[in-house]
Structures are given as C-alpha cells and as structure tokens.
Structure 1
Amino acid sequence: MASYRLYAYLTLVALIFCVAYATDPTQLQDFCVATNDPKNALFVNGLFCKNPMEVKAEDFFAKGLDKPRDTNNRLGSVVTPVDTAQLPGLNTLGISIARLDFAPYGVVAPHTHPRATEVLTVLEGTVYVGFVTSNPPVNGANNKLFAKVLNKGDVFVFPQGLIHFELNVGKTPAVAMSALSSQNPGRVTIADAVFGSKSPISVDILSNAFQLDANIIRSIQLKFSTSS
C-alpha cells in the first residue's frame, strides 16, 4: 500500500511539473502578430540562434560601461543598455544590464519595464529612487510610493511592470548599474508615452484623466512632440 501511495504521489508531482512547463514562452516584445507566410516573418519571440559551431567568445563579450556618458540633455541623465543588441550571447538567458549616468539633479523620468524586474546599485553619488504600486483593489485606496535615498554601494529593487524613477540629489555626478530579469526588458517612459505618442492621444481624454484644462494638455503635447 505504501509503495502504491508513493507511486501515486510521484505521478502527481510529474503531472504538475508537466503542466508547469507546458506554458507559453515569456513575451520578449510588445506584440508578435502571427503570419502564415514565412517570407513576411521578421523575427520570432526573441532572436534567431546562431549556429553553435560558429559561436565565438566575442559573442559573450561587451565593453565600455566604464566610460562616463554625456548627460547634457533635458533630463540630465543617460541610460546605456547592454542587451542582446549589444551582447548577442544574452539571447535566451533572460538577463540584461544597464549603466545610468546622472548630472547633478539629473533624473531618469518615471517609467516601467513591462518585461523585467530591475535591481539597481549605486556606484557613485547619492540617488533618490522609488516605485509606485499598481492600483489597489479597494475603491478609493491610494497607490503607495516606496522610496529611498541611496548612497554608494546601496541596492534597491523595482518590481516588474511598476512605475519607478531615479533622481540624483547630490551636487556631483552620479553613476548606477542596473540588472534586469529579461534580455529585452522594454521601457515605457510615462510622460513620453502619454503626451508624445504618434498619433497623439485625444486632448479630451487627457484633460479628463489629468483634470487639466485642454489648453494646458495641448501645450504639454507640443513640448513632447518637438523634444528629442
């Protein structure tokens, strides 16, 4: 009887594992519209794989993250990603990294990574970081902000898909490094997406959503449509 129960238990565990592994692959791009014509196919969910016999050490190598970036722009920050575009060997491994450079008081504007959790480590300077929770299930409850001032060597995590930001609160340049749990994390900068989309979102929708006068919305959209 005991051996029968053990066999039944192992069979159940095996079935659970089979079901767990029979799910769809993680999405690596915003969308992948199906086509029945291979000639019209541009890419798969990810990238095509190189012949293993032609792989070289250089496919797993990238350099240059030690070099400071030019932060002379309207936000005073630059994000330098290292994903499969810069490091082909990352394909299918589910990770990527990025360097963040900040001018004094420079900011990485509120944004999300739809396909990745981010772990940020401050290498130089003092950086104020935070993320906001998704809409709470209780009507009338507020989204909650989790924020912290980080110094050199401090680490902070931004859960996947949540809006987050980084701000250099020091008087000197700051540098941070981020590790992300996707080879293609994606990035949605909230202000650019809402006010700078092509074609633009209806002024009526935005003025109601933000409770602002329509002329103010048009002025903001103009700034984002003309900014680089």
Structure 2
Amino acid sequence: MKKNLVLFMLLLFFITSHLGNIGATNFSRSSGNLCYYPESHDFGYKREGETDSTTFEIWACCDCAGSIRYTLIENCSWVDVNPTSGSSNGEKDLITVNINTTGLSEGAYICPIKIESNNGEGVFTVKVKIAEDNEAPSVNIVEPERGWLYLYGEKKIMVGFTIIIGDVTIEAEAMDEKTEIEKVNIYIGNELMKTDIGEPYTYKWTEPGFGMYNVKVVAYDSFSNTATDNIVVWKFL
C-alpha cells in the first residue's frame, strides 16, 4: 500500500510539473511588472565598418498589475536604439537595436542597454567582436586515416591505401587563428551528408557501399573563408 502511494505521488509530481510548462513563454522578468525577451544578442564577428541589427520585445508582464512606462538608456557610440521609450498595458513593444562598427578597432565589445520603468528594471546586452580575417581556416580528416584498413570502425593494419569494411566514423579537425569555425560540411562524393556546427565534426557512415569514394570536408570560418580536405577510400559493405 505504501509503495503504491509513493508511486502515485511521484506520478502526480511528474504530471503537475510538466503541465506547468505547457504554453510557457520565454522571457526575462524584473522584480516588478517589466518583462522583456530575449535578454541579450551576440552579433558574433564583424569587420570594421559593417552594420547589423536585432530586435527584442518589452511588455507589462500582467495587465492586472497596471501598465508600465519604460525608458532605454545606453552609452555606446556604436549602438542605436529605437524607440528609446514607451508604455505597455500587456501588449508587446518591438525594440530595434542597430550597430555600426565604423571606427572600432579589433577586439570584443559589450554594450549594456538599461531598461528603466515605473515597475521594474532590466538590462539587454549587446555583444560584437571586430576582426579582419581574409585567411582560410585549416581542416584535416583525421578518421579514417590514410593508408589503413578499417574493419567495422576499428583501425587494423596499414595497407598503403584506405579500405573500409562496414560502418566507419568520419572525423575532421578544424581551426581558425583569428575568428571561429562556423560549420564543417561533410561530403561523400558530391552528396552533402552532414553539416556540423560544433566539435567534434563527425559523421557515421553506415550506408552500404562497394567501390571507390571521395570523402571531402569543407570548413567555414566566421567570414565564410573556406578550407577543404579530402581522402579517397575503398568501401565494402
């Protein structure tokens, strides 16, 4: 009886906790009636002189608590906010944040946009990194290794050319000295098999094959500079 009661209580807790998340909206809430979302934006890497923009929303969390009147305050020469003030009875106001990187030297920049209201405060944070990168990243296929026989994913013996029997995991390593690797595309022949946006850059090749294949990887950095590596393999099964 006690065991059944414990199971019932656990089930009830699980159901109620998940029901509470149904229809939930992502937002940042201050100590008062001020709500805004999202709470930050990272523009990533930009070259000096580039422009870009993003938006976020501000609203009164609950109209039962009354309307809010808000003001946006920032002190960054490269950021422009529009509008800089407003009010809400519960409807969402769209705020546009424009950046202009003209005159900025290389480095990382952060601009806090303070949100003040008659019922709560908050901060929307803008980030950007300035760099000048015209060089290609580097990328190398590390698995399968050239000249080895692979049997169902395991490297067995060196045979002078790459032979794959069964499944194998293709793995690449990529890096960029000035910015970041945005993605790595993995191809078999001319067919794109996977786009990986974070390490490890891998693709498990499970499709059966018979014959010679060209495996290619293409790495892209933050400014779309590219680098390519490929390997010719013989695959069976």
Give the TM-score range, shorter chain: under 0.3
When normalised by structure 1's length, the TM-score is 0.21
By percentage of residues, which structure has more strand? 2
Higher relative contact order (CA 8 A, sep 6+): 1
| Larger helix percent | 1
**TM-score of the two chains, using structure 2 as the length reference:** 0.21
Structure of larger gyration radius: 2
